Amino acid sequence: MADTAPLPSWSIYTILIAQGATYALLVWFLGRTRGKTAEAFLSGGRDIGHGMINASIVATWIWAATLMISSWTGYHYGFIGPWWYALGATVPLPIMAYLGRRVKTVMPKATSYPEFMLNRLDRKNHVLHSLISIVVALWITVMIITGGAVMGHVFTGAPFWAIALLIVIIFVSYIPFAGLWASIFADTIMSLMLYVCLVIIAAAVLVKIGPSEIWAGLIEVASTQPTLHPGADEVEHSSQWDGLNWLNPSGLGFLIVNTVGNLGAVMCNQTYWSRVTGSRDPQTVFKSFMTAAVCWWPIPLATGTALGVAALSQGLVVGESYSYGSATILFTEPEAVAPVMAFLVLGFVGLTIFILAVGSATVSTGAGEILAVTTVLVNDIFKGHINPRAKDRTLLVASRASLFIIAGTLLAVVLFFRHIGFSFAGMYQAMGIAFSSAVIPVIMACFVRTTNCNGAFWAAIIGSLCGITYWMATGMDLLWGVVWGNVIVLSVSALIAIPWTVLRPQPFDFNSLREAEGTTRK
Amino acid sequence: MEVQGQILKTGELNVPEIGYIINHWVTVAWLSLAGLYVYYVVIADLVKVIRGNKKEQEQGESKT
């Protein structure tokens, strides 16, 4: 691999080490006094303003996949692909704005969303949502580390294990100083870097190729119908030959998958609820999630258009090698279209900028997810069930220790999966089907005064089981199987929770949550 | 051919050149404006953080 990698291996080490050192230094300099107590460590002080929260949500919701897959949608579905990708993935953020504002208003001292579920519903819902949020965050982190390390390995030739190790070290290099505040602050810096990287790439494509030439290229592809992905089925070919169609049919299914599948990844994920916890007030929560949606949308949209659609217009063929000056790059698979196109437009600089952007996206999301797991483990499991009388110092030590234990475990899991050749194909979709059933109970717990605790609990479990059973019956189909799987999950969940609540209402006084805090109440 | 039939059928929905040019410029302009907004609000927040830290430090020094 080292011989065919376009960049030297030291480049990925430099990028990662420089990022880790910068975040650790800045967090130590600006925020070292902020993690002195367990409450401050896990809640970020509850006084963070709109700017940092907004940027943190943007950075956390940008994964390597946001940049890679949005470009793939442009290459696969034409100019409308990035619009659908961006729309589908943006939807959870405005919904989260309403949920976050509601929880911040009715229970301002909540540290985690399972803690809210405990105080609003009951203990069994608390355990269920604690487990869901832990599994969601861990699973996302495993995928993120693997994705980042694979990309670094392919483009620099550095060993997979070394990159994965470095990524994990960076996760825990700055968070122990100040906990949630450190995570949000580093996200902020990463989002600033991401915008610079992506604007450079988008502007370069605009100047060096230009929209007129891209349009002409798409017309050329539509009229000559070349085979751009040898071995792919006819649906994919016909989709690529239809790159100027604003109603590309096979992209519509992708829109539904992306919309429904992402609901659980945001609303049942403590990482995003931590941004609610750290915010100054309910208005800051609402404004930050809303503006984050508007600021996040153009990231996959512009990246997918600049790199994916442009690659389609240039007729890039999977399996071919492409040159920039004397250097060449192999276009190994359609999902790698973004870095290949960045390389073809700006050479090594373009590829380095893209890897920097992906590295930032990986670190910001991964670190936030690890801290989210720590929050639920310490705040909900340890304090809630194991040692309710734990002192603040014990909780602080447990929080810091958890970070390192989780990071080490994740590294071991990632290396093990890599060793056995585990395929992550479809695993993100599986996660959406498994956990989107908890979305309706969470929304009802926030807004419906009479939500039945048993209804909410069984809706999450039975909805998930129905969706998974259906998806497995379709042979884990990654297009319409996932689409209907997600629709079934949400429908079954709603059909259980809503009638149960209507038939057996359990009136609840939201005012009782105003002073509620902690996980030992019920 | 089925594939060609689909193209002929949906080809009527193709965007014209001016439509694509506007689309492309919108994506870049939106990204740039979003970036500027994020920079603006983040810098405003960071200034507050630095001022807060300074104030805290001064209060700590005056206590000692």
Which of A518, A383, A392 has the alpha carbon at shortest distance from A38?
A392
Residue A133: predicted pLDDT: 93
In chain A, what percentage of residues exceed pLDDT 70? 97
Q: Is B20 on the interface with A (CB under 8 A)?
A: yes
Q: Is A509 on the interface with B (CB under 8 A)?
A: no
Residue A319: predicted pLDDT: 92
What would the 3-class secondary structure string for chain B be? CHHHHHHHHHHHHECCHHHHHHHHHHHHHHHHHHHHHHHHHHHHHHHHHHHHHHHHHHHHHHHC
**Where do runs of H (alpha helix) occur along A225-269?**
234-240, 249-267
Under a CB-based contact definition with an 8 Å cutoff, are residues A180 and A41 in contact? yes
Under a CB-based contact definition with an 8 Å cutoff, are residues A160 and A418 in contact? yes
Question: Per residue in A276-298, pLDDT tens?
Answer: 999 999 999 999 999 999 999 99
State which residue of chain A sits closest to B44, comparing Cα positions: A51
B27 Cβ contact partners less than 8 Å away, ≥ 6 residues apart: A82, A202, A298, A301, A302, A305, A306
Confidence band for B4, pLDDT divided at 50, 70 and 90? very low
Q: Is A202 on the interface with B (CB under 8 A)?
A: yes
Instruction: Collapse the DSSP code of A476 into the 3-class scheme (helix H, G, I; strand E, B; otherwise coil) and give the result.
Output: coil
DSSP state of A45: G
Which of A419, A385, A136 has the alpha carbon at shortest distance from A269?
A136
Q: Enumerate residues 226 to 265 of chain A having a beta carbon within 8 A of any beta carbon in chain B.
A: 234, 237-238, 241-242, 244-249
Q: How far apart are CA B22 and CA B30, in angstroms?
A: 12
Question: Per residue in A76-134, pLDDT tens?
Answer: 999 999 998 999 899 999 999 999 999 999 999 999 999 999 999 999 999 999 999 99
Contact (CB<8Å) B7/A291: no
Under a CB-based contact definition with an 8 Å cutoff, are residues A300 and A85 in contact? yes
Total-model pTM: 0.92
Residue A518: predicted pLDDT: 66
Q: What CA–CA distances, in Å, run from B43 to A161, B32, B39, B50?
A: 37, 16, 6, 10
Question: Per residue in A431-462, pLDDT tens?
Answer: 778 888 999 999 999 999 999 999 999 999 99
Q: Is A298 on the interface with B (CB under 8 A)?
A: yes
Does residue A164 carry a pLDDT above 60?
Answer: yes
Contact (CB<8Å) B7/A241: yes
Q: Which of B2, B11, B53 sits opposite A30 (nearest CB)?
A: B53
Question: How close B16 comes to chain A (CA, Å)?
Answer: 8
Q: How far apart are CA A142 and CA A81, in angstroms?
A: 27
Under a CB-based contact definition with an 8 Å cutoff, are residues A334 and A304 in contact? no
Q: Is A301 on the interface with B (CB under 8 A)?
A: yes
Q: What CA–CA distances, in Å, run from B57 to A33, A252, B52, B54?
A: 10, 56, 9, 5
Instruction: Collapse the DSSP code of A109 into the 3-class scheme (helix H, G, I; strand E, B; otherwise coil) and give the result.
Output: coil
Question: How close A242 comes to chain B (CA, Å)?
Answer: 6
Under a CB-based contact definition with an 8 Å cutoff, are residues A244 and A218 in contact? yes
Burial class of residue B38 in the structure, from the number of CB atoms within 10 Å of its CB (0-12 exposed, 13-18 middle, 19+ buried): buried
Q: What residues pair up with A328 in beta bridges, in sequence order?
A: A323
Question: How close A328 comes to chain B (CA, Å)?
Answer: 28
Which positions in chain B touch A247 (Cβ < 8 Å)? Answer: 10, 13
Instruction: For residue A237, give the amino acid letter.
Output: H
For A51-55, A139-143, A505-509, B7-11, which range has the lowest pLDDT when averaged over its residues? B7-11
Which positions in chain B touch A242 (Cβ < 8 Å)? Answer: 6-7, 10-11
Does residue A520 carry a pLDDT above 70?
Answer: no
Q: Is B45 on the interface with A (CB under 8 A)?
A: yes
Which positions in chain A touch B21 (Cβ < 8 Å)? Answer: 211-212, 215
Pairing relationship of beta strands A321-324 and A327-330 according to DSSP bridges: antiparallel
Q: How far apart are CA A67 and CA A32, in angstroms?
A: 32
Under a CB-based contact definition with an 8 Å cutoff, are residues A126 and A384 in contact? yes
Under a CB-based contact definition with an 8 Å cutoff, are residues A522 and A122 in contact? yes
Q: How far apart are CA B39 and CA A178, in angstroms?
A: 23
Q: Enumerate residues 182 to 201 of chain A having a beta carbon within 8 A of any beta carbon in chain B.
A: 188, 191-192, 195-196, 198-199
Average pLDDT over residues A380-388: 91
Cα dihedral across residues A419, A143, A408, A169: positive or negative: positive
Q: What residues pair up with A324 in beta bridges, in sequence order?
A: A327
Instruction: For residue A462, give the amino acid letter.
Output: I
Question: Can you read off the two tokens belonging to residue A267?
Answer: 């609303």
CA contacts within 13 A on the Cβ side of A172? 20
Average pLDDT over residues A29-55: 91
- Measure CA A23 to chain center: 20
